[in-house]
Amino acid sequence: MMRLRQPVRLVALLLVALCLAGVAGGRADASWLTRLVKDAGEAGTSAARKSASALDDATGAIIKLPEAARGTALAAHLADVGHWTFVNGKGERFTAATPAEMKRVAEVLATPATNDPAGRKLTLLMTPSTVLSRADTLKDLPDGASLRIAVNGESYPLSRLAKDGTLAADLRPGVSLKLTDRAALDEALVHLTRPMRRADVRVIALAPGGPGGLTRLPRIDPATREAVTDRIDPAHLVQEFDSLSGQTAVLTGRVTGDALAFRRPIGTEGTLDLAALRQAAARHDVSLVILDAAAPRQPGTRNWLWQRVAVPGLDGAVAQATLADFLSALAAKAGHLAVEVSPATGHRVTLRARPVGDGFVVAPDTVGRALAEIVSEVAGDVVFKGLEIAATSAERQRELRLRLVPFVPSDAQFAYIGLLVIGLMGLPVALSWWRRLWPPEDRADYPSAPGFFAARLVRLTLFTLLFLPLAAVPAAIAAFVLNAWRWITWPWRLLRGARGS
């Protein structure tokens, strides 16, 4: 019976080798096996199936709406053939291809509340492809319907920015995200909806002659138990970004070209190279927030009226749960903010927000700048024209989270682990090769037992951590060949054993 297990062991060994070959290639999607499975899956996935998945996602977002709106909320998707598909919270579907059918959507899918005296209108949660690629068809939807875009199980109201009419998603009160393409939308949502810890937000004041370093943790005011503004000499800021690794640094100044201007206590201005700041932040995975101020006074300083100079809304902003909430708190003072995202380059992505609508927008001329100076001096506030957020890209963040050892790329770590596991399949073969390269220690060669066991430990460590991963693939292949030969010759050996008995 023991010999009957040889074929089973061989098949199991082959299956394990195929599965682990993907791990040995680093990331799962980098291996030939995973690419084969992925290509096969993509070949079997039609556009209709992708659309159905997006529509199901929009339908699932209905439950997150206020209860009063769920009865009149429908998921909506426009197919390539020009037909609209609507789904209510119960999963009931209706397809509209003509204006007459479009008029029947509410009576077919919505609850009777749609026809109540209050005149409650439909709420349509549309798939991203419908909004981003077919925005010109939104006019065909039922009159008065409230439009939302559904992404990743959440939905956001749609609006058009007053300044240029760009379609946008209203993520929070006072914060709208310009809609351009799906990649930019997904990237922006990763950053804007990511939870922020107050302890990770460092408000930095540029103070020439001030401290030359930053603490790795924020300083806490013993009276209020709140984080206080970090002061640093601008000449040392670039070198100190390593102390802020993984945190968010907030700087205030007037952005002029590629320079950040800041006000010295004596009234003159200095500048910092924005490119150098961005590069230093990228090297240490620091999210860099730059408030483009009309008057480059620094938070935490005193103005000529001995008032505290502050960024409007910033104290509340750093206490918010997400970056979108952070911007919403700032928008309460600056006016409605429109956010747009630039394509990720070099593991970094840039989001920019500008006030639109009724917010205080500084005129580009000298009079406008002078007015901002007066507002800043008298009110003690830093009036900002917009902000830039340079952050680690979503792909880079995922890679950092996968790391077991912080300073080693996750691809290399998973490849190493995969080779170790594959090496275990060929362990007997690898051990035989290792014994030829480094024969086992002889107790007689060591005057003491501790020395003997220390030498054995060193030999075992080098074998496990270095030799086994290096020899993993040839050892596993050799072990497979040996097992295959045993399987092929198994009937002959079984017959020979029977004759011998």
Mean of per-residue pLDDT scores for the chain: 78
Question: What pLDDT was estimated at residue 7?
Answer: 39
Per-residue model confidence (pLDDT) at position 382: 63
Q: Average pLDDT, stretch 237-246? A: 91
- What is the per-residue DSSP string for 71-110? TTEEEEEE-TTS-EEEEETT--EEEE-SHHHHHTHHHHHS
Task: Provide the strand spans (E) within 362-461.
Answer: 384-392
Identify residue 130 by its one-letter amino acid code.
Answer: T
User: Rounded to an integer, what distance in angstroms lies between the CA atom of residue 177 and that of residue 192?
Assistant: 10
pLDDT at position 308, please? 53
Q: Comparing 112-116, 124-128, 129-133, 231-235, which segment has the lowest mean pLDDT?
A: 112-116
Each domain of the chain, given as residue ranges in start order, spans 1-45+404-501, 47-158, 198-392
Residue 188: both structure tokens together = 């922006």
10 Å Cβ neighbour count for 225? 7
- pLDDT band at residue 48, thresholds of 50, 70 and 90? low
Ramachandran angles phi, psi of 4, nearest 5°: -65, -15
Q: Report whether pLDDT(10) > 50.
A: no
Asked whether the predicted pLDDT for residue 57 surpasses 80, the reply is yes
Q: In this predicted model, which residue has the larger pLDDT, 4 or 82? A: 82
Residue 11: what pLDDT?
A: 39
Supply the DSSP string of 208-265, one letter for each residue.
TTS-S---SS--B-TTT--B-PEEE-GGGTGGGGGGGTTSEEEEEEEEETTEEEEE-T
Lowest mean per-residue pLDDT among 81-90, 257-266, 454-463: 257-266
Position 388 pLDDT exceeds 50: yes
| pLDDT for res 501 | 55
β-partners of residue 205 are 231
Q: Does residue 5 register a pLDDT over 60? A: no
Report the percent of the chain where pLDDT is more than 70: 76
Q: Is pTM beyond 0.85 here?
A: no
3-state helix, strand, coil in the chain (%, to 5): 45, 20, 30
Burial class (CB in 10 A: 0-12, 13-18, 19+), 314: buried
**pLDDT for the residue numbered 114:** 46
How do residues 168-213 score in pLDDT, each as one tens digit?
A: 999 999 899 999 888 899 999 999 988 877 778 888 999 888 899 9
Q: Which of 423, 403, 432 is nearest to 466 (CA)?
A: 423
pLDDT at 232: 92
Between 115 and 74, where is the model more confident?
74
What percentage of the chain has pLDDT greater than the value 90?
29
For residue 308, the cross-strand partners are 302
Report d(CA 460, CA 466) in Å as an integer: 10
Q: Report the range of poorest mean pLDDT among 158-172, 175-189, 338-352, 438-452.
A: 158-172
- C-alpha 466/C-alpha 471 separation (Å) is 9
Q: What is the pLDDT of residues 313-322, one digit of tens each?
A: 666 776 667 8
The strand pairing partners of 354, in sequence order, are 338
268-314 pLDDT, tens digit per residue, is: 889 999 999 999 999 998 999 998 887 787 887 544 444 455 666 66
Residue 357's pLDDT is: 61
Give the per-residue pLDDT at 45: 47
* pLDDT at residue 311, as a whole number: 63
What is the pLDDT, as a whole number, of residue 51? 63
Helix axis angle, 5-24 to 472-488, nearest 10° = 160
Q: Which residue has the higher pLDDT, 269 or 48?
A: 269
Single-letter code of the amino acid located at 37: V
Residue 474 is predicted with a pLDDT of: 92
- Which pLDDT score is estimated for 277? 93
Q: What is the pLDDT of residue 500?
A: 58
pLDDT interval class at 360 (50, 70, 90): very low
Question: Per-residue pLDDT for 462 more than 50?
Answer: yes
Q: How do residues 393-420 score in pLDDT, each as one tens digit?
A: 888 888 888 888 878 888 899 999 999 9
Q: How confident is the model at residue 381 (pLDDT cuts 50, 70, 90)?
A: low
